[in-house]
Amino acid sequence: MPPNDPTVLAPAPMGLRERKKAQTRAAIQRHALRLFQRDGYSATTMEQIAAAADVSPSTLYRYFPTKEDLVLQDDYDPLMAAAFRAQPPEVPVLEAFLAAVHQTLAGISPEDREEAVLRARLSFTIPEVRARALDHTLSTTDVIADMFAEHLGRSPRDLEIRVLAGAVIGAILSAQLFWIDDPKADPWEISEQALRCLIDGPAGLTKG
């Protein structure tokens, strides 16, 4: 990947129109998260959010079709995917995956990271949001399986590949749950540990 791939790093020269849109979207989400934190998710209505962001409800719904999207929407997935594809083929899959996650996290500014942590916490805390987050995770699993297949030079339809992807996601999810219960822990640390469990093989456990 060229060091300044426009699809990844550069915001790609936007016209005034797109710049305003991005600005509006960011403003809406920021206000929404603030209100969710202050008054609680279900106690905050879409109308209140629209009012806070100074847009009409219609506009709010055009940017965020559902209330959950206000918590879930971000654009880290393509960054992750790019980072993974940038890994050299000779490095083992799970190591490559780990590296991709690490690199992506490293590329996020402290403020954005803080916001991401808040969103993650809300995602696990509010049942409706959690449900939709998991649904998104499931589709992500498909994407990851495809990337794994490509990295390994195998068919993306291969059950073994999909099981591997599912196991990886399941493991990380468990790690996240671990983190929710223990907020002072580092989510990255735990995720890495979880993946190492998988790399070392659950062999020790599966026999006993």
Nearer of residues 134 and 177 to DNA, judged by Cβ = 134
Whether residue 144 contacts residue 168, with contact meaning beta carbons closer than 8 Å, is answered with yes
- At 45, list the tokens: 């209505």
Residues 189-208 that bind a copy of itself (CB under 8 A): 190, 193-194, 197-199, 201-203, 205-208
The DSSP line for 24-40 is HHHHHHHHHHHHHHHH-
Sole binder of a copy of itself in the list 33, 52, 173, 180 (CB under 8 A): 173
Nearer of residues 20 and 85 to DNA, judged by Cβ = 20
Which residue, chain included where needed, has tokens 């300044």? 4
Q: Say how far apart CA 143 and CA 149 lie, in whole Å.
A: 10
Region near DNA per CB under 7 A, out of 3-11, 13-21, 90-98, 109-117: 13-21
Sole binder of DNA in the list 59, 73, 137, 193 (CB under 7 A): 59
Contact status: 96 vs a copy of itself (CB under 8 A)? no
Q: Say how far apart CA 16 and CA 92 lie, in whole Å.
A: 44
Whether residue 166 contacts residue 138, with contact meaning beta carbons closer than 8 Å, is answered with no
| Amino acid at site 147 | M
Task: Provide, for the chain, the percentages of residues in helix, strand and coil under a 3-state DSSP scheme, each rounded to the nearest 5.
Answer: 70, 0, 30
Nearer of residues 21 and 130 to a copy of itself, judged by Cβ = 130
Contact status: 152 vs a copy of itself (CB under 8 A)? yes
Q: Would the CA dihedral through 196, 198, 199, 200 be positive or negative?
A: positive
Nearer of residues 80 and 93 to a copy of itself, judged by Cβ = 93
CB contact set of 32 (below 8 Å; sequence gap of 6+): 44, 49, 52, 53, 64, 70, 71
Sole binder of DNA in the list 21, 121, 130, 136 (CB under 7 A): 21
Region near a copy of itself per CB under 8 A, out of 12-20, 39-47, 112-120, 175-183: 175-183
Q: Say how far apart CA 28 and CA 49 lie, in whole Å.
A: 7
134 binds, among DNA, a copy of itself, none (CB under 5 to 8 A by kind): a copy of itself
Would you tell me which residues interact with DNA (CB under 7 A)? 15-18, 20-21, 24, 42, 44-47, 54-59, 61-63, 65-68
Would you tell me which residues interact with a copy of itself (CB under 8 A)? 92-94, 127, 130-132, 134-135, 137-138, 141-142, 145, 148, 152, 159-175, 177-178, 190, 193-194, 197-199, 201-203, 205-208
